[in-house]
Amino acid sequence: MTRSDLNTGSHDLPVSPALAEFMLSGWADGEQHDLPADDVAGWTGPRRARLHARFPGERLVIPAGGFKPRSNDQHYRFRPHSAYTWLTGDQSSDGVLVVEPDGEATLFLRPRSDRRSGEFFRDRVYGDLWAGRRATLGESRRRLAVPTRHLAELESALSGGAVPTRVLRGVDPRVDALLADAAGPGDAEFAAALAELRLVKDAWEIGQVEQAVAITTRGFEDVVRALPAAKRTSERYLEGVFWQRARLEGNDVGYNSIVAAGPHAATLHWIDNDGPVRDGDLLLLDAGAETRSLYTADITRVLPISGRFSPLQRDLYELCRRANDAALECLKPGAEWRAFHRAAMTVLAYGLADLGVLPCSPDEALAEDSGLYRRWTLCGSGHMLGLDVHDCAAARASTYLDGRLETGHVLTVEPGLYFQPDDELIPAELRGLGMRIEENVLITDDGYRLLSDGLPRQADDVEAWMHRIAS
Ligand SMILES: [Mn+2]
């Protein structure tokens, strides 16, 4: 094998020295000097101050993360770590926020390379001509209202002196390696703190979630309009319709849409979405649009594909709706996180007894050492919502699962019933039915505000809404 035989890995043609030289000159400056600060820039400073106050005298390092390979030389579309965006407002790849022991913040970024280097036309991942224009350091500084430095200076900025340092690990392998010596138990506490600081949403964040819910509501209406076309194709058609709305008005979907017709509704995270859409069946749609600021909604509705619930479908739907009502009634500052789940499960356990499927009394099934009703409820009744669909998942149980609701929490309420198609312990007519209503809720000083009230809750209202949209 000759040396040139080993020149593999690209389908690009070689660049002659003359072309390389020619490409370097004749370009306009293009720096944008008059960029206003982004709206979020007024909020990120106070967030960083809260983080610093939690760990005063320590250096704190929060990376955005980089491109993740999908296959071969293709990457997934980049999405930064939520803590990084929350603290900076930035969404570019490879950035690293450093908060110094005195609280001063610097954002290390991979800026647009100038056109005296060949990166702009040679680099398929980062080059302007391949990937689009990245911001310069000056542009990012103006938009984000935080000092910026080149990523290449990160290593020297972090070296020198024994500064106590905490790192959000597992996000950027280069940062993990650079600060391998500083790794310790403090990093786990740091990751938990970054999640816990985001539990209570500020006013700007609440506005973003409201936008996500509004886009999602329009996406659900699109899905109803598309039901005739889906009946000729598959669940995929509806997945695409919702995704179009999410991309058009937002950034993306906040998680893979669950488009579950017929018995697929009994699979909690059905995302293959390749089944038929048939009159007489139900469609369970669990989907959320992510705003361009990266906040997501997470809403579920169950729709009768024909436009009308059967009597049995209606009974089950209304049972889930009553469980959801019972959960909502528990929501107020100071209430235990687990209280709304318990309230919903009590309604469902009694409902399951009425359906004749419980092998014991509902109270026996609800006992701590039993839980037999859970064969048909399967999961918890809600989770925090925000930049991530399962927001703040790294928070300690004492502040979340075993904690109490606070004003400014945003969460989902989604008790459901799931009857597997192969469950021999239930009547045949229940098999393959899955039912869930999922609401997005803000905890307020005097209780809660239903954010997802642009979509119908009651069975009759679902039918009327579908009829109005389809006609
Ligand atoms: Mn959810």
Can you spell out the DSSP letters for 286-342? EE-EEPTTS-B--EEEEEETTSS--HHHHHHHHHHHHHHHHHHHT-STT-BHHHHHH
Task: Report the separation in Å between the CA atom of 438 and the middle of ligand 1, taken as the mean of its atom positions.
Answer: 7
Ion ligand 1: residue ranges with CB closer than 5 A? 298, 412
What is the average per-residue pLDDT within 455-463? Answer: 98
* The pLDDT value given to residue 1: 47
Gap from CA of 283 to ligand 1 centroid (Å): 16
Q: For the domain made up of 203-470, give the CATH fold.
A: Creatine Amidinohydrolase (3.90.230)
Per residue in 238-275, pLDDT (tens digit) is 999 999 999 999 999 999 999 999 999 999 999 999 99
What are the residue ranges spanned by the domains of the chain? Answer: 17-196, 203-470
Distance 439 CA to ligand 1 centre (A): 9
pLDDT for residue 9 is more than 50: yes
Please give the distance, rounded to the nearest whole angstrom, from the Cα atom of residue 460 to the centre of ligand 1.
24
Q: Given this model, what pLDDT does residue 129 score?
A: 94
Nearest Cα to Cα of residue 128 among 275, 27, 3, 20: 27
Please give the distance, rounded to the nearest whole angstrom, from the Cα atom of residue 434 to the centre of ligand 1. 15
Fold of the CATH domain 17-196? Creatine Amidinohydrolase; Chain A, domain 1 (3.40.350)
pLDDT, position 111: 96
pLDDT digits (tens, 9 = 90+) for 323-375: 999 999 999 999 999 999 999 999 999 999 999 999 999 999 999 999 999 99
Look at residue 429 in the predicted model and tell me its pLDDT.
96
For 321, the token pair is 């709706």
Summarised one tens digit per residue, pLDDT across range 26-83 is 999 889 999 999 999 999 999 999 999 999 999 999 999 999 999 999 999 999 999 9
* Centre of ligand 1 from the C-alpha of residue 414, in Å: 7
How far is the centre of ligand 1, averaged over its atoms, from the C-alpha of 469 (Å)? 25
Percent above pLDDT 70 for the chain: 98
Q: How far is the centre of ligand 1, averaged over its atoms, from the C-alpha of 18 (Å)? A: 57
Q: How far is the CA of 413 from the centre of ligand 1 (A)?
A: 8
Q: Which residues of 295-325 are buried (b: 16+ CB within 10 A; e: fewer)?
A: bbbbbbbbbbbbbebeeebbebbbbbbbbbb
Instruction: Report the pLDDT averaged over residues 93-122.
Output: 95
| Ligand 1 centroid distance, CA of 371 (Å) | 22
444 CA distance to ligand 1 centroid (A)?
A: 20
pLDDT reported for residue 298: 98
Looking at residue 7, its pLDDT comes to 59
Q: How confident is the model at residue 4 (pLDDT cuts 50, 70, 90)?
A: low
User: What pLDDT does residue 114 have?
Assistant: 83
Q: How far is the CA of 359 from the centre of ligand 1 (A)?
A: 29
Taking the centre of ligand 1 as the mean of its atom positions, its distance from the CA of residue 224, in whole angstroms, is 20
* Distances, alpha carbon 373 to alpha carbons 157, 344, 359, 381, in Å: 57, 12, 9, 14
- 75-83, long-range: CB < 8 A, 24+ apart: 75/125, 77/252, 79/252, 79/294, 80/294, 81/168, 81/171, 82/198, 82/294, 82/386, 82/387, 82/388, 82/391, 83/168, 83/194, 83/195, 83/198
Ligand 1 centre and the CA of 380: distance in Å?
10
CA end-to-end span of the chain: 69
Q: 125-136, pLDDT tens digit by residue?
A: 999 999 999 999
CA distance 290 to 251: 6
Ligand 1 centroid to Cα of residue 384, in Å, is 9
Distance 60 CA to ligand 1 centre (A): 31
pLDDT at 230 over 50: yes
Question: How far, in Å, are 41, 312, 347, 359 from residue 427 at the CA level?
Answer: 57, 12, 20, 13
CA 270 to chain centre: 17
pTM, full prediction: 0.96
What distance in angstroms lies between residue 325's CA and the mean position of ligand 1's atoms?
A: 16
46 alpha carbon to ligand 1 midpoint, in Å?
29
Mean of pLDDT values over 224-232 = 98
For ligand 1, the distance from its centroid to the CA atom of residue 31, given in whole angstroms, is 43
Inter-residue contact 341 to 324 (CB < 8 Å): no
Q: Tell me the CA–centroid distance for residue 146 and ligand 1, in Å.
A: 34
Determine the pLDDT at residue 29. Answer: 87
Ligand 1 mean position, distance from CA 382 (Å)? 6
Residue 455 has pLDDT above 90, yes or no: yes
Q: What does pLDDT average to over the chain? A: 96
CA of 383 to the centre of ligand 1 (A): 7
DSSP 350-400: HHHHHTT--SS-HHHHHSTTT-GGGGTT-S-S--B-SSSSSTTTTS-GGGT
Ligand 1 geometric centre to CA of 327 (Å): 14
Which amino acid would we find at residue 266?
A
Query: How many angstroms is it from 461 CA to the middle of ligand 1?
Result: 22
